[in-house]
Amino acid sequence: MDTNILNYAEERVRYYKVLIGLLLLTAITFGLPYLFEAGANLPAQMFIAVLKAWLILMYYMHLKGEKLIGTMTMFSLSLVFIFFIIVIGVDVTNFQFGAESHITAPEHTGGATHAAPAHH
């Protein structure tokens, strides 16, 4: 889809179709917590969010057919993935003072989590 060529009627219909799709996915978002257990709910919610994001990017933000910007988007997202998830993820996972910090210490049960943070 060349963004400089306009077929008004066709594009307007596409906008409404995307809106209906987004509304349906939003409705599914409300139903998911009752279909999945807490552990699976979050990944399911994020999956629906990614579908919604894809619709917005492709049709509202006109990425469909934009090869250069599309490639740049994927490249940038790959960089974000590599640096944030892998590099920082590995670093955070191996955090040396994980057991001592009041942020990273394992969650307590029985309401003891509101105790004053440990100082170190």
Partner 1 sequence: MSHEYVPEIALDRDGNEHVVQGWQDDFYGGKLGFWLFMFTEVMMFGAMFLTLAYYNTLHPHDFIEASASLNRLLGGTNTVILLVSALTMGLGLLKMRAGDVKGAKLMLYATIILALMFLGIKAVEWTAEYNHGVFLTLPALQSGNEHSLPFGKILFFGMYFTMTGLHGFHIIVGIGLMLWLIKRINSGKVTPEHHILHWNIALYWDIVHLIWVFVFPYFYMIGAAAATGGTGGH
Closest listed residue to residue 73, CA positions, set 88, 54, 51: 54
CA distance 11 to 1: 10
Query: Does 100 interact with partner 1 (rule: CB under 8 A)?
Result: no
Query: Does 61 interact with partner 1 (rule: CB under 8 A)?
Result: yes
Contact 28, 48 (CB under 8 A): yes
Q: At its nearest, how many Å lie between partner 1 and the CB of residue 29?
A: 6
Alpha helices in 1-116 (DSSP H): 8-35, 38-55, 67-80, 89-93
Query: Does 82 interact with partner 1 (rule: CB under 8 A)?
Result: no
List interacting residues with partner 1 (CB under 8 A): 3-4, 6, 8, 11-12, 15-16, 19, 22-23, 26, 29-30, 32-34, 38, 41-42, 45-46, 48-49, 52-53, 56-57, 60-61, 68-69, 72-73, 76-77, 80, 84-85, 88, 92, 102-104, 106-107, 111, 113-117
